[in-house]
Amino acid sequence: MAWVTRPLAQTSDTTSPLPQAQRLPAVPSVVSTFAGGDGPGRPGGTIEVLAGSDRETRMMTLLGYTRLIAFGPDLTLRPDILESYVVEEGRRFTFRLRPGHRWSDGHPFTAEDFRYWWEDVANNRDLNPNGPTVEMLVDGRPPAFEVIDAQTVRFTWHAPNPYFLEAQARALPLFIYRPAHYLRQFHVRYAQPAALRAAMQRYQTSDWASLHHRLDQMYVNDNPDMPSLLPWVPRTRPPSTRLVFERNVYYHRIDERGVQLPYIDRVILNVVAPSVIPLKAGTGEADLQTSYLKFDNYTYLKKGSNSFPFEVYLWETGTGSELALYPNFNHADPVLRKLFRDARFRRALSLSIDREEINEAVFLGLAHPSNNTVRPDSALYRREYGEKWATFDPQQANRLLDELGLVRRGRDIRLRPDGRPLELVVEMSGDTKEQADVLSLIASTWRQVGIKMVYRNQSRDLLRQRVTAGQTMIAVWAGVENAMPTATSSPREFVPATQGDLQWPRWGLYRESNGKAGEPCDQPEVQRLIDLLGKWERATDEADQRAIWHELLAAHADQQFTIGVIARSQQPVVVSRRLRNVPRKGIYSWHPGAYFGIYRPDTFWLDGDRPR
């Protein structure tokens, strides 16, 4: 995302008829630490953002990271929109709202907004034919929901629900509330029939549920009429090449001096072709830019910073591996399926990757060879998780391949057990120069041990379809999303859980559908992961959860269910010299973190001095 500053303007508080004291909750959230060390700041200013599509309004939901419960800088969960919450026995969750908190249109934010979501949205079969989302179910059963009073709600399950709290803090959160006073006018239970028909005609929808869905897009954040709790709210409706977001004058956070956040008055998304965003960033047209930048843009950007008033920071990427290889345990070819399920084969593939060479050739030595696992700054990290079977050892790889009976004569390609040449097709989505360079180097070292590898680019949707159909041999994707977990974080990424799992999609679909589709797991080593996940879900003691996490991570390192290559690569961050409170060192992570979100962009501010 790119930010372009404009001259400082007066704060837009004047758009509200109420003084600040009446716009804030009785107990506002007080921000006393600033990620970049340049706070507290100065209110005012307009920022222009370069976006590659007018659908990127959803990036404002990330930039304005505001959640019922949010990750703090230390990755612990803490109340944000909520004043407080209480968890009992891991299954009873009582949420206390901030008295006097208002939506961006000034209407009170109350327990009614939770009741509306639960009764009229989540459990309405026209809006949600499959019922509440998976995070709201334990053993397939929903919670009991109670409105205690206007500021208090409670969800109670029959057994622990370890996913519920973290689901509120995600980059894409589980929105368990809605602006009921706005959406009722589009709900068949509340709206006058004539008014509802008129709204359907105005928005060109065929039924009331489609109308409600269209206007109820809290994450997409593209409906100017829908009240919000975020720091900036949309004022322009797509499609447009100029999308305006203005500060929410009822926002619930203040700094330690009592100044209401956000400091920045206005954010404007200017839609341009994605291909020109690196060029514009390198000529000083962006105050804050990470989207559409890759590490191979770094040299150009650094050169541009000598002529234009910006700096280039390097943040570490937050995934478990910059890219990882996902052998398909559910491949349609029985010969390949048997090979991929044999840990010796996966270990041989990993031992045949020269990660040090890749690091030096592609990432200028600034990344770190690693398995696809948690980062060193995770409380769960152990060195062996990143290093086991991850050294370059072609001799040991050859021994393992020989054990498997993969015959090789001289320097020829090895033969599969059915006598065909051992040729692996690796499929990726995106076709970036970095990915192609990495895969080219892997193909070279795999060839040394008698394995031919070719790589192909597919569209994202086609790649996922081919994986699920058992047609893709090995998929390339980023590593684990949450590489900074705590003991209470969800370990589902390490276990067959959804159809989207690239290494075992059929097993994941079986669990996701509760046995209605896919295939039951028939491999003991993987079934052990499933059993461990079940133990973690039932555990209420953090020490027990931590022990289960370590068992999962140790199994992944030993079994090489996925094959990581390089971790902690560098993400260029272009920052204007006028923009304050952006940390020089950060972790660029979707979850946890919402990219910039965890560093609280509502505290970023513009220095009115001339660029230095």
Nearest alpha carbon to residue 294 among 318, 317, 270, 326: 317
pLDDT > 50? residue 12:
no
Q: What is the DSSP secondary-structure string of 345-380?
A: HHHHHHHT--HHHHHHHHHTT-SEE--SS--TTSTT
Q: What share of the chain is helix, strand, coil (3-state, %, to 5)?
A: 30, 20, 50
Give the pLDDT score at 6: 32
Give the pLDDT score at 16: 64
Residue that the structure tokens 């843009």 belong to:
297
Report which residue type is found at 392.
Answer: F
Q: 582 falls in which pLDDT band (50, 70, 90)?
A: very high
Torsion of CA 104, 109, 115, 117, to 10 degrees: 20
Separation in Å, CA 561 to CA 28, 53, 328, 501, 523: 46, 36, 10, 12, 12
Nearest alpha carbon to residue 261 among 41, 483, 554, 21: 41
Alpha-carbon distance of 505 to 508, in angstroms, equals 5
**Average pLDDT, stretch 152-170?**
97
Phi/psi at 153 (nearest 5 deg)? Answer: -130, 160
Q: Are 578 and 551 in contact (CB under 8 A)?
A: no
Q: 478 falls in which pLDDT band (50, 70, 90)?
A: very high
**Average pLDDT, stretch 452-477?**
96
Alpha-carbon distance of 75 to 81, in angstroms, equals 17
Alpha-carbon distance of 412 to 303, in angstroms, equals 46
Give the pLDDT score at 399: 98
Q: 15 falls in which pLDDT band (50, 70, 90)?
A: low
pTM recorded for the entire structure: 0.92
C-alpha 302: how far from its chain's center?
Answer: 28
Pair of tokens at residue 278:
């690196």
pLDDT > 90? residue 287:
no
Mean pLDDT of the chain: 94
pLDDT tens, residue by residue, 357-406: 999 999 999 999 999 999 999 999 999 999 999 999 999 999 999 999 99
Give the pLDDT score at 4: 36
10 Å Cβ neighbour count for 306? 6
Give the pLDDT score at 427: 97
Q: Are 234 and 218 in contact (CB under 8 A)?
A: no
- Output the CA angle 156-159-164, nearest 5 degrees: 60
Residue 241, SS3 per DSSP: coil
pLDDT tens, residue by residue, 498-513: 999 999 999 999 999 9
| C-alpha R_g of the chain | 26
